[in-house]
Amino acid sequence: MATPIGNLRDITLRALDVLAAADVIACEDTRTTGRLLKAHGIATRMTPYHEHNAARVRPGLLRRLESGEVVALVSDAGTPLISDPGFRLVSEVQAAGIDVVAVPGPSAALAALVASGMATDRFLFAGFLPARGPARRSALSALAGIDMTLVFFESARRLPGSLKDMAAVLGPREAMVARELTKIYEELRRASLPDLVAHYAEAGPPKGEVVVVVGPPEDPPGDLDDAGDIDEPLRAALEAMSLKDAVAAVSGASGRARREVYARALEIRGGSKK
C-alpha cells in the first residue's frame, strides 16, 4: 500500500482504513512507519520486512495470511515494489491463492511525471540507472531509441554525472529534475539536458531525493532526413564514451543501422568530414 513520499498528510483515507484494520503491517522500518501511524492515531502492530530479512520473514507472513490474517505491506515512502521490497512477497502470496489488493497512493515517479509537463500518454519508468559511467551509458543507449517520456530515480549525489551521460546519449532533450516532492524544499527544474548539466556542474549536487523526467526524442527513430543528421549526436557521444557505446547510442536513438553509424563514427574519428 502506498504511503506518503514526504508529507505525512499525503495518504489516502482508504489506506488509513486498511492500516487500522490490518492484523499486522509489514514495513521497511518500524520507526518510519511508526511516525506515520502515530500521526494518524493508528495502533496496528508492525513487523519489519526489508531487503535484508525478506527471505527469512516471508514464510511467517505467508502462514499468517493462510490462517486468515490481513497483512498490510508498506514501504518507507511511496509505493512498495517500485524500487522497494515486496515483489517476491506479492508473487508468493498470489501463488498461494491468497488475494492481493493494491491500495494506490503516492508514487515519486508518477508525481514527477505529472508535474513535468512532458508527454504522459506513453512513458517508461526506468528505475535507477547503474552507478558507474560505462554501465550507465550502455543502459541509456538501450533507452535512446524509445519514443516515450523516460522517468528515472536517481540519488542526488550522482545526479550531475547521470545528467551528463543522459545529455551525451539521449541528446539535447527537454528534461526535469523533481526534487523533494511534497516536502518543504520541493523544487521542479525544467530545462534542456545540456542546460541542466551546466546548472548542476556549477551548483553541485542538490540535497534530498530526486526524480529525473526526460521527454521523448524530438526526431523519433526513422524520422531523420539524411545521414548528416547523425553527425551532431555522434560527435557528442564520441566525446563522452567509447566508440562501441557511442555507435550503440546513436544507432538506438536514430534508428539507423549500426554498421552505417559505425562507418560514420570512424570517419569522424579519423577527421574525415565527408
Please report, as ranges, the residues that interact with ligand SAM according to CB under 6 A: 5-6, 75, 77-79, 82-84, 107-108, 153-155, 178-183, 209-211
Q: How far is the CB of 51 from ligand SAM (least distance, A)?
A: 10
With respect to ligand SAM, which residue has the nearer C-beta, 140 or 234?
A: 140
Q: Which is nearer to ligand SAM, 165 or 245 (CB)?
A: 165
Shortest gap between Cβ of 110 and ligand SAM (angstroms)? 8
Our CB check for ligand SAM shows the closer of 75 and 254 to be 75
Residue 94's Cβ-count burial label (10 Å; 0-12, 13-18, 19+) is: exposed
Instruction: Measure Cα distances from 58 to 174, 222, 262, 265, 266 in Å.
Output: 43, 48, 50, 52, 54
What is the identity of the amino acid at 110? Answer: L
Q: Write down the least CB distance from residue 32 to ligand SAM, Å.
A: 12
Shortest Å, Cβ 90 to ligand SAM:
14
Q: Which helix (H) or strand (E) holds 112?
A: helix 108-116
β-partners of residue 190 are 176
Contact 141, 242 (CB under 8 A): no
Residue 2 vs 265, nearer CB to ligand SAM: 2
| Smallest distance, ligand SAM to C-beta of residue 273, A | 42
Measured from the CB atom, is 96 or 100 closer to ligand SAM? Answer: 100
Distance in Å, CB of 71 to ligand SAM, minimum: 18
Query: How many CB atoms sit inside 10 A of residue 200's CB?
Result: 20
Min. distance of Cβ 144 from ligand SAM in angstroms?
21
Question: What's the CA gap between 107 and 48, in Å, rounded?
Answer: 21
Q: Which is closer to ligand SAM, CB of 77 or CB of 113?
A: 77
Cα–Cα dist 133/164, whole Å: 10
CA 107 – CA 81 distance, rounded (Å): 11
The nearer residue to ligand SAM, 79 or 251, going by C-beta atoms, is 79
Q: Among 173, 255, 258, 259, which Cα is nearest to 221's?
A: 255
Q: Are 28 and 84 in contact (CB under 8 A)?
A: yes
Q: Which three cell numbers stand for residue 68?
A: 486468515
Cα radius of gyration (the chain): 22
